[in-house]
Structure 1
Amino acid sequence: MVDSEEVGDEVHVSVSESHLDFSNPSTVEWLKRIGLWEQQTMEGPPLKRRRLGWDVPDPLLLSEAARLQLHLASQLLQVYPSLASGQDKQAVDSCIVHSDSLCVDTEKLCKADARKLQNGPGDQCFAVNSPSPPFHKDDQDGHLNFIVGESLTSRYKILQKIGEGTFGRVLECWDQEAEEVVAIKVVRSAEKYREAAMIEIDVLHTLAEEDRSGSRGCVQMRRWFDYRNHECIVFERLGPSLYDFLRANEYSPFSIDLVQDFGRQLLESIAYMHNLNLIHTDLKPENVLLVSSDYVKVVDRKNTLMHSVQMRRLPKSNRIKLIDFGSTTYDRECSFSTLSTRHYRAPEVILGSGWSYPCDIWSVACIMVELCSGEVLFQTHENLEHLAMMERVFGPIPSYLVRRSKGKAYKYFRHERTLNWPDRHTTRESIRAVERLSELRDLLGKHLEKVPSALLSLLERMFCYDPLNRLTAREALQHPFFQEFSRH
């Protein structure tokens, strides 16, 4: 049992024999589910990459508040003995109301120590926040259910949902301790998403170690914690993504000056990552955020008619930051697997010939074309059609690249030379989609009054089919297109 005695404002707790078996993963999982076991780290990365297991601390190493947390758990265990096995899920759900009532008493006991953090094994930090926020079951997909205005632990008050994706949800929250607005990525409770979150946490820590000032253009992680089986990553609050800004402007393209600035910043961030042996692998406008949400409205002269004035938004600040490192990998871990969002996927990924740093450069080039045109360059969802679109814009894929795939790409080609498109399965819609495309110069010319030769030269070298001959991020930054920009 965990015995407690209150003397004035101080609480004295002695830990003797407990009903809880801390070596039982089911018991720990139950504690996490009802919100009485919370892990939080402010400084370091996870103990090991790809590790999801909990380091169960010796109760003697816990802070006073954490011991009281175990006292509360022991009380619940006496009321619901079947919880010890972690198998009686009905009992787990039934005890939530009881746990909330016990938390009221615990809040008084923990008053002097509720914010205290105590390092446990492996430099992990264990914290207790009382009372526990209301419990909501996850939805059927493992997303955290929440109500605006409630708390995510006692520290963060939920203001609104600002995003949702395959990985989970992003909530805008008020950090009551730091007194600032933050964005919290709440990852789905499924194991594969929790694993990806731990990888992202490790990458974010690596990026931050070499960039204390936050000047390298990668989003900064404030801290991370586990909340009711959801990995939660706290970020600085940024503005909208470049995709959201384009959409708000009805997909009216950015000016060439902004494309230069965004492209330069993006390549600087990628060069920084590549220097750390990191490959992002999922670059797209949705993962590039403006630092500020502020904008001004100006007359859109290109789309303004004689009797109708069209307005468009311009960001007040051009600063951007790169986000979403859940798919980021170290160079030593590169494989032949498929990666990145379809529209920004490099040819070597589709051909199965192996990928590395150059796949990020191809994605950046796709983003720059999209910023110039307001349209996705390769709007496709199928490999053969995707390759046909590439050939329409850049010409035939060299046969030696097909052979480099060691047979994986042969199904897309006749005699390893000619793309097998259209084939008997190709639809009319697919043919029309490919034929709508044209050479890169002509595509850009539809949206730019004059296509800068330096821009065309840069993109052609970033879109090189052979990843071995494609520009690196550092080489691209030395290209005349960005040198001209730096003199403006």
Structure 2
Amino acid sequence: MAEKHEKHSKYNSTRDSRNKGRKRSRDDSKYNLSESKTPPLPIRHGHSIEELMKRRESIKEELKDIAKNGSKHNENSKKCKIEAKSSGQSKHERFTDIFQNTKSIKQMSFKDSSPDNVQDYSQLDSEDEESIIEQRRQQRKQLLEQLNATETKTELSVKHSDDSGQVNKEEEKINSPVELKSSKNITDMFSEEDFAPKKDSDIVTQDNSEVSLQLNDNWDDSEGYYNIKVGDIVDNNRYTIKSLLGQGVYANVVKAQDNSRGNSEIAIKIIRNNDLMYKTGLKEIKFLKEVNDADSENKYHCVRLLTHFMHKGHLCLVFEAMHMDLRCVLKKYGKNHGLNAKALTNYSRQLLLALRLLKKIGIIHADIKPDNILVNENKNILKLCDFGSAMKINDNEPTPYLVSRFYRAPEIILGIPYKHSVDVWSTACTIYEMATGRILFTGSSNNRMLKCFMDLKGRIPSRIIRKGKFKDQHFNYNNNFLMHKTDEFTGREKVVEVTNITVCRDLGKELKKSYKNATMCDEKRITQLKDLLDKMLALDENQRLSATDCLKHPFIQESIQK
């Protein structure tokens, strides 16, 4: 019995020891699982846990010193790395230290991240050069944002670290050539931009004459137009710019006063600073001189060129002063209803006189439209201007984009050799616009313009189409019109053959809409105007009226007799 009891007690003790072992192994596995979430503390040769903790505290103290005085940081980081190398640290151990130090730096940067408290928190590892550069760039960006917000000019200091770990502070001073107007001009000298101005003592104020010698490029915008500044004096103090009148493809036009002639008003056309535009300006001067010489008494309504000069690389043409262009007159006095009968006939006659003069000396204007027609202050004299597209009758060659599209004759679109009749077509479109206040043809392309012509005048004769250099773009082998349309579903352009052309516009009815409660006299005038426009808008240029024939038409002659 005693033996059985002894065996039973041994069995229980053995089982308890096994259970304790199993419990201890389970506890150890739980401990290992929870501890595996963080990297184990590295075991260093010759360093105990207490020494590592002391070192960690010393690093914290160093980082606090860095926050107070960033200039000591690089020197301390060098010392840390030298100690690590002397103690036989592995690369993995140094990485662990840097990870812990970087984590503490981030915590500090969150607490003190305002631009006012920007410090030089460089990485401790010198191998991570890219992160150091990016961090310093962000610091400079914050400083610049602070400068822009307060609109003050401050001094920027840059810290450079040499190979020995010492920090050199150098002040980069750049003398600004002109006095800055606002702090928006401040840029970072080490970023992708050019440079940043420094202290107020480095800023030099210069007069306009000195600045102009150094900053000629600033006189132009990105497209080569002259930057207009009211009050500028040009051409050896002769002309003072008063205001901007307008801007076209070739130039700016400004109103100015002539200081040498009792402050009389003149207009200056400032050609874009571009080789092509310069050559175009020289050609315009040549044609204007020829026109003015042919009209020495100033009777035929072409604008007078007074002189020309160069200014800051721009060719400048000086003209007599006019009040506004015909486009502005139509918007102000004839929108949607046109000008009164007296102004219409007077302007039409003067415009035809200018065309007759141009034909006499063999010049095609090639850009007649309301924008290129000027009116004086009393609104009783009209003058043709802008000879930038003009050419001699023998110098022309087919081009589909000559003349502004709404005033472009069919022979230009088809590529047929053209003559003075293209100006007659453009003049007819302008007269219609003066009579109604609306544009006659509003096609969105050359192809759509041909469709507009046929809507008013009917099918273009095959004998005209066959002469065209560009006929294949708009007509097939049967001379049927190929209309370019946009598909409603796919949005792609498609070509539709149009075999039947029907006239869907009545010129007489459109002219009558501008005359409310028309009298018998008005009815007669409308009929005469319709006949004149029909003959000026003949699709065959050889059948189109000349400027001389137009001046003999009853619509012009009867108004003169009255």
Q: In the alignment, which residue of structure 2 is the partner of 1:207?
A: 291
Asked if 1 retains the 8 angstrom alpha-carbon contact of 2:301 and 2:383, the reply is yes
Higher relative contact order (CA 8 A, sep 6+): 1
Letter in 2 for 1:391: M
Residue pairs, 1:33-72, within 5 angstroms: none
- Aligned equivalents of 1:132, 1:285: Cα separation in 2: 40
Asked if 1 retains the 8 angstrom alpha-carbon contact of 2:508 and 2:527, the reply is no
Secondary structure of the structure 2 residue equivalent to 1:457: helix
- Aligned equivalents of 1:483, 1:381: Cα separation in 2: 36
Structure possessing the higher radius of gyration over alpha carbons? 2
Closer/same/farther in 2, CA of residues 158 and 435 from structure 1, 3 Å limit:
farther
Asked if 1 retains the 8 angstrom alpha-carbon contact of 2:372 and 2:386, the reply is yes
Closer/same/farther in 2, CA of residues 194 and 102 from structure 1, 3 Å limit:
closer
- Aligned equivalents of 1:247, 1:435: Cα separation in 2: 33
Q: In the alignment, which residue of structure 2 is the partner of 1:454?
A: 528
Letter in 2 for 1:204: L
Please say if 1:484 is aligned against 2:558.
yes
Please say if 1:324 is aligned against 2:386.
yes
Question: Greater helix share, 1 or 2?
Answer: 2
Closer/same/farther in 2, CA of residues 101 and 137 from structure 1, 3 Å limit:
closer
Q: CA deviation at 1:418?
A: 2.5
Q: In the alignment, which residue of structure 1 is the partner of 2:397?
A: 335
Q: In the alignment, which residue of structure 2 is the partner of 1:143?
A: 225
Residue pairs, 1:338-353, within 5 angstroms: 338-353=401-416
Please say if 1:396 is aligned against 2:459.
yes
- Aligned equivalents of 2:286, 2:513: Cα separation in 1: 43
Asked if 1 retains the 8 angstrom alpha-carbon contact of 2:398 and 2:416, the reply is yes
Deviation string 1:167-205 (CA, Å, 9 cap, x unpaired) is: 121111111012211000001001111111000000011
Q: In the alignment, which residue of structure 2 is the partner of 1:382?
A: 445
- Aligned equivalents of 2:364, 2:208: Cα separation in 1: 45
Asked if 2 retains the 8 angstrom alpha-carbon contact of 1:133 and 1:152, the reply is no
In structure 2, runs of 5+ residues without a counterpart are 1-193, 195-203
Identity percentage of aligned residues: 28
Closer/same/farther in 2, CA of residues 460 and 148 from structure 1, 3 Å limit:
same
TM-score after normalising by structure 1: 0.65
Closer/same/farther in 2, CA of residues 416 and 287 from structure 1, 3 Å limit:
farther
- Aligned equivalents of 1:149, 1:254: Cα separation in 2: 36
Deviation string 1:390-433 (CA, Å, 9 cap, x unpaired) is: 11111111111100115x212312434332236565989x99xx
In structure 1, runs of 5+ residues without a counterpart are 1-89, 91-95, 104-130, 295-314
Asked if 2 retains the 8 angstrom alpha-carbon contact of 1:402 and 1:416, the reply is no
Residue pairs, 1:23-172, within 5 angstroms: 136-153=218-235, 154-172=237-255
Please say if 1:285 is aligned against 2:359.
no
Among 225, 245, 267, the alignment partner of 1:183 is 267
Q: In the alignment, which residue of structure 1 is the partner of 2:473?
A: 411
Q: In the alignment, which residue of structure 1 is the partner of 2:52?
A: none
Letter in 2 for 1:360: D
Among 497, 505, 524, the alignment partner of 1:438 is 505
Q: CA deviation at 1:257?
A: 2.5
Asked if 1 retains the 8 angstrom alpha-carbon contact of 2:454 and 2:503, the reply is no
Secondary structure of the structure 1 residue equivalent to 2:324: coil
Q: CA deviation at 1:146?
A: 3.0
Secondary structure of the structure 1 residue equivalent to 2:303: coil
TM-score after normalising by structure 2: 0.57
Q: Report the number of matched residues.
A: 341
More off after superposition, 208-217 vs 409-418: 409-418
Closer/same/farther in 2, CA of residues 386 and 193 from structure 1, 3 Å limit:
same
Letter in 1 for 2:483: W
Please say if 1:470 is aligned against 2:544.
yes
When the two chains are superposed, the root-mean-square deviation of aligned CA atoms in Å is 3.0
Deviation string 1:335-366 (CA, Å, 9 cap, x unpaired) is: 11231000000000011112111000000000
Q: CA deviation at 1:235?
A: 0.3
Residue pairs, 1:215-254, within 5 angstroms: 215-249=299-333, 251=335, 252-254=337-339
- Aligned equivalents of 1:175, 1:453: Cα separation in 2: 47
